[in-house]
Amino acid sequence: MSQFDKTQVVDVLNHLLEAELAGVVRYTHYSFLVFGFSRIPIVSWLRDQANESLLHAQQVGEWITTLGAYPSLGIGALLDSHKHDMSAILQESLATEGKALDLYRDLLRLVEGHSVALEEFARQMIQAEELHAADVDKMLRKPGEVRAFAARND
Ligand SMILES: [Fe+2]
């Protein structure tokens, strides 16, 4: 198996680490701002997402040091739209998670055919992020609406 470009792979992994850490902060922040009757399950869902982002950040960080590189201490973009209705929160989540998904796809392209373990990791993360996006898309639909939310602007 030929070698992959380590500099490029570490660069993508560091961007992913920053994006996942931004997710931890973003979901935790959102979870403080949920009011109304459905607060309890929504807060719990948002905190689950924060925990999942932290787990992803830790897995990505471990890969960076496995490759003998230094993990970034930075954090990805933290936009605060100051719109705290669930629809705005979920749409922001779809957009930012979409960017992380693109980075995992970049990772897969860089390691495909070069490292079984990193390839497997990238595929697992792509699957997790796609399933997450599918869930958020369903949450953005009105009851009885089957058409995907993401397809609405097609
Ligand atoms: Fe993630």
Q: What is the mean pLDDT of residues 117-122?
A: 98
Number of domains in the chain: 1
Average pLDDT over residues 24-46: 94
Residue 148 resides in a domain: no
**CA separation for the pair 39, 33 (Å, rounded):** 9
Q: What residues flank ion ligand 1 with Cβ within 5 A?
A: 56
75: which DSSP letter? -
Stretch 42-47: mean pLDDT = 96
Please give the share of the chain, as a percent, with pLDDT higher than 70: 97
**pTM of this structure:** 0.91
153 occurs within a structural domain = no
pLDDT at residue 98, as a whole number: 92
Rounded to the nearest whole angstrom, what is the distance from the C-alpha of residue 56 to the centroid of ligand 1? Answer: 5
Matching residue, tokens 């990505």: 60
CA angle 139–49–70, rounded 5-degree value: 140
Alpha-carbon distance of 48 to 27, in angstroms, equals 9
Using pLDDT thresholds of 50, 70 and 90, give the confidence band for residue 134. Answer: very high
User: What average pLDDT does this structure show over 49-63?
Assistant: 97
**Within a domain: 20:** yes
Q: What is the pLDDT of residue 83?
A: 74
Q: According to the model, what pLDDT value does residue 153 have?
A: 61
23 found inside a domain = yes
Residue 152 within any structural domain of the chain: no
CA of 126 to the centre of ligand 1 (A): 9
Cα–Cα distance between 76 and 137 in angstroms, integer? 23
Residue 50 domain-assigned? Answer: yes
What is the model's pLDDT at position 1? 67
CATH number at residue 68: 1.20.1260.10
Range of the domain at 131: 6-140
Q: At what angle do helices 116-140 and 86-111 cross, to 10 degrees?
A: 160
How much is the average pLDDT of 6-11? 98
* 97 Cα to the center of ligand 1, angstroms: 7
Mean pLDDT across the stretch 138-143?
91
